[in-house]
């Protein structure tokens, strides 16, 4: 415990002595974490949106031919229900389809009243147990007599998933680059302290001090710098995300039927992630800055 308190006290002392470079390190890590937080916020909400879209598109819509009788329709429904992966099948009449289209058109829906005859077909809405089974279900439904067409948003889901995966890879590359830059900055900051205390460190080595005992205060310095940067970055990201969420949250919910993740949830998770990254960056920066000196 005494050793821990000594390291922490020395860490704060060294930060104060080199406050100019320490502030530069803190601002550098804050900038990195802030950019990382933006990517994190976008990716988390994009993943949520993708999952919502997948749930919305877990339906296969089967359009029936106009001449299909009620008995043929019942047979088609029974055949589809018996197929593996089908959760439920519901019937949508031509009139219901037209009413839904009017609602989607909103204020312009009255234009559809001028249609002499309802051109929309009756359809069956097939809910599948898993979106992975939708392809097989749609292919089977297309082979049944009386089916005119199949509507399944497979391409939309696959493209959305591909875009999400691409953005995740890009975000990871950018994050890795920013982390390396931050480690280098912290390492250079701590090197100044190492050079300033070079004579003291040599004396400690001569009297038998272990490398980890010597390294302790410098690791504490790096960890403190990383932790302070994490707290500042979390505060800035929480303010930004809260403002953005308040300004566009309702519009996103109305357009995409998908709410943004709450500010409180994002703040807690970003603080945990930022603290872990900040402490790791600070610790590794101190280890790198001391390694060559202590090995000599």
Q: What share of the chain is helix, strand, coil (3-state, %, to 5)?
A: 80, 10, 15
Of residues 40 and 213, more confidence is placed in: 40
Q: Do 234 and 267 touch, CB atoms closer than 8 A?
A: yes
Structural contact between residues 64 and 73, judged by C-beta atoms closer than 8 angstroms:
yes
Tell whether 126 and 39 lie within a shared domain.
no
pLDDT tens digit sequence for 255-274: 455 567 778 888 888 889 88
Indicate whether 217 and 271 sit together in one domain: yes
Q: Which domain holds residue 142?
A: 59-152
Of the candidate ranges 8-17, 53-62, 274-283, the one whose mean pLDDT is the lowest? 53-62
Count how many domains the chain has. 2
CA-closest candidate to residue 137, choices 146, 118, 124: 124
pLDDT digits (tens, 9 = 90+) for 60-107: 888 888 888 888 888 888 888 888 888 888 888 878 877 877 776 666
Which residue would you say has higher pLDDT here, 163 or 30? Answer: 30
Residue-wise pLDDT for 172-182, tens only, equals: 888 788 778 77
The reported pTM is 0.61
Q: Are residues 269 and 181 in the same domain?
A: yes
- Per-residue pLDDT band for 232 (boundaries 50, 70, 90) equals very high
CB 114 within 8 A of CB 89: no
């Amino acid at each position: 415990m005494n050793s821990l308190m000594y390291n922490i006290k020395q860490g704060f002392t060294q930060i104060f002595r080199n406050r100019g470079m320490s502030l530069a390190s803190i601002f550098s890590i804050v900038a990195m974490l802030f950019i990382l937080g933006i990517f994190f916020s976008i990716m988390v909400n994009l993943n949520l949106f993708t999952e919502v879209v997948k749930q919305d598109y877990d339906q296969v819509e089967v359009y029936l031919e106009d001449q299909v009788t009620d008995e043929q329709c019942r047979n088609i429904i029974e055949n589809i229900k018996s197929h593996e992966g089908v959760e439920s099948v519901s019937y949508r009449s031509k009139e219901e389809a037209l009413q839904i289209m009017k609602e989607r058109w909103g204020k312009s829906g009255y234009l559809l009243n001028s249609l002499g005859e309802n051109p929309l077909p009756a359809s069956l809405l097939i809910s599948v147990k898993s979106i992975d089974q939708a392809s097989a279900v749609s292919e089977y439904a297309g082979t049944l007599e009386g089916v005119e067409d199949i509507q399944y948003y497979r391409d939309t889901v696959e493209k959305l998933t591909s875009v999400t995966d691409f953005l995740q890879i890009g975000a990871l590359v950018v994050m890795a680059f920013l982390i390396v830059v931050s480690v280098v900055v912290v390492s250079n900051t701590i090197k100044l302290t190492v050079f300033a205390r070079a004579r003291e460190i040599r004396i400690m080595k001569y009297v038998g001090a272990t490398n980890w005992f010597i390294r302790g205060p410098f690791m504490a310095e790096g960890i403190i710098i990383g932790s302070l940067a994490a707290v500042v970055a979390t505060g800035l990201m929480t303010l930004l995300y809260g403002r953005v969420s308040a300004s566009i949250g309702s519009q996103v919910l109305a357009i995409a039927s998908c709410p943004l993740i709450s500010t409180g949830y994002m703040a807690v998770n970003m603080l945990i992630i930022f603290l872990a990254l900040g402490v790791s960056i600070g610790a590794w920066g101190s280890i790198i800055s001391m390694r060559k000196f202590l090995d000599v």
